[in-house]
Homo-oligomer: A and B are copies of this chain.
C-alpha cells in the first residue's frame, strides 16, 4: 500500500554523537525534563498542508514536488492515498500530533452539500488512520482563504452570503475536530483584512469578525467541545493588513467583543517577526495578557518580507523562546506545531524527514537548555532583583491605588533629590544566557 516513504526507517533517538542524518540526536521522548516527559512537554505536531498538499509552487514558479498523490485521478481516492501516506510519515517520524485544514484532507465538491459529504468521508478516514497509528489531532481548522469566493474576506466579506459560506465550513470543521478528539480549534484569517481602504470599512468588518467569533464560541459550548479556540495572529500577507495583526491587537479585539476569557492565541514565530516583534515577545505578551495557547514553531527570515515558514534551526533563539514558554507554565491544550515547509528545491521524500528531524532536535535541545536556565535560576534571580523596589511600601502604594499623582509629587519635592539609574546589565545577561547553550 503506502510506499512513498518506504525507504525511510522509523526515526530513533541515537544521541548527540550519532552521525545518522535520519536519527534524532536530541529528541529523546521519554527523557524527563523538569518532571515531565519530553514528548509531553513539546507536544509536537506535523502540519498536513505544507507537507502533503503544497506542490512546491511559489509566486514565480510551478510545482516542484512529484508526490504520488498529486498524480491525478478520482479526487476522493487521491485524498485517501494522501491520508495514508501522511499517517505513514507521522508514524515513521514518531510525532504524537498532526493539524489540518478541512480542504487539506478533502477536496472541494461541486456544491456545498458535496463538499460536506467529501469532508465527512475523509473525517472517517482520518479517524481510521488515527486509530491505526495512535497519532492524535492537535487542532483542526477551516481554509477560508484559498477559494476565490473568499477573495474579499470570509467573515469580513462585504457579502453576508459569503459569511454564511464561511460559517458552514467552520461548523463542519469544528464537528470534525470534536469527532477526531482534537484538542484545539484554530482560526487564521488570511483574507480577514484588506488590500485598500478605498473599498473597505474597517469598523464594520471588525464587527462582522467579532460576531463570527462569538458564534464559534457559542457553538463550541453547545456541542461540548472542551478544547481551546485559538486565533493565529499575522500582520499581513496575503492581504495588505489583517485584523489579527499581532498578539496585542488580538487581545484588544477579544476585549472589544467580550471574548478575552474564551479565546487564546496560536503564536507563529514567522508571523511574530513579520509584525516587527521577536517570537519571545509575542509569547511573553500573550502570557502577560492571559491568552497564551499554542505555537507554530516555524521561523522566517528577518531579511525577507514574506512568510517563509522555515523549520527552526537556531539553537539559541529557540532556547529563549522555550524558556519563556516554560516560565509561563508550558502548554496545556496547546502544542508545538511545525507550520513549516521544506524549501521548494528540497524535492526528495527524505527532505521531509530531514526538515522535521532538524526542527524536533533543535526544539528538544532548546528544551534542555531552558531546563538548565530554570534549574540554575540565575536569570530569574536577576529579574527579581531588578524589580525588587516594587515590593516596597512606595511600590505597593502605587500599584495598590492608595497613592495619587499629587502624593507622589509631594514626596519627590519633599525628598528633593534625584534618583540614580541602575545598569540594565544587558551584555552580562546575554553572556549568562549563552552559558546554558
Write the A243-284 contact mask toward B (1 if CB under 8 angstroms, else 0).
001101101110110000000000000000111111011001
- A149 near B418 with CB under 8 A, answer yes
Q: In the docked arrangement, what's the CA distance between A25 and B340, Å?
A: 36
- A408 near B164 with CB under 8 A, answer yes
Query: In the complex this chain forms, how many copies of it are found?
Result: 4
Residue A219 at the chain B interface, CB threshold 8 Å: yes
CB-CB under 8 A from A256, the residues of chain B are 251, 255, 289
Stretch at the interface among A29-37, A123-131, A341-349: A341-349
- A406 near B255 with CB under 8 A, answer no
- A306 near B59 with CB under 8 A, answer yes
Write the A385-419 contact mask toward B (1 if CB under 8 angstroms, else 0).
01101101011001101011110110111011111
- B158 near A387 with CB under 8 A, answer yes
Interface residue from B274, B280, B406 paired with A219 (Cβ < 8 Å): B406
Write the A34-75 contact mask toward B (1 if CB under 8 angstroms, else 0).
000000000000000000000010111111100000000000
- B199 near A426 with CB under 8 A, answer yes
CB-CB under 8 A from A418, the residues of chain B are 111-112, 149, 165
Q: In the docked arrangement, what's the CA distance between A382 and B21, Å?
A: 14
- B167 near A235 with CB under 8 A, answer no
Within 8 A of B (CB), among A306-356: 306-307, 311, 313-317, 320, 324, 342-348, 350-351, 354-355
- B195 near A424 with CB under 8 A, answer yes
Residue A421 at the chain B interface, CB threshold 8 Å: yes
Write the A210-236 contact mask toward B (1 if CB under 8 angstroms, else 0).
010011101100000000000000011
Q: A238-B59, A288-B206 known; A343 and B427 CB under 8 Å?
A: yes
- B351 near A428 with CB under 8 A, answer yes
In chain B, what residue has the closest Cβ to A188?
B60
CB-CB under 8 A from A358, the residues of chain B are 427, 430-431, 434
CB distance from A291 to the nearest CB of B (A): 10
Interface residue from B146, B158, B168, B416 paired with A412 (Cβ < 8 Å): B168
Q: In the docked arrangement, what's the CA distance between A431 and B22, Å?
A: 10
- B345 near A424 with CB under 8 A, answer yes
- A159 near B405 with CB under 8 A, answer no
Stretch at the interface among A4-12, A79-87, A297-305: A297-305
- A63 near B148 with CB under 8 A, answer yes
Residue A171 at the chain B interface, CB threshold 8 Å: yes
- A278 near B255 with CB under 8 A, answer no
CB-CB under 8 A from A435, the residues of chain B are 19, 25
Within 8 A of B (CB), among A94-135: 111-113, 116
In chain B, what residue has the closest Cβ to A415?
B112
In chain B, what residue has the closest Cβ to A396?
B160
Interface residue from B198, B237, B361 paired with A379 (Cβ < 8 Å): B198
The 3 A-B residue pairs with the shortest CB-CB distance, nearest first, are A305-B305, A252-B252, A203-B288
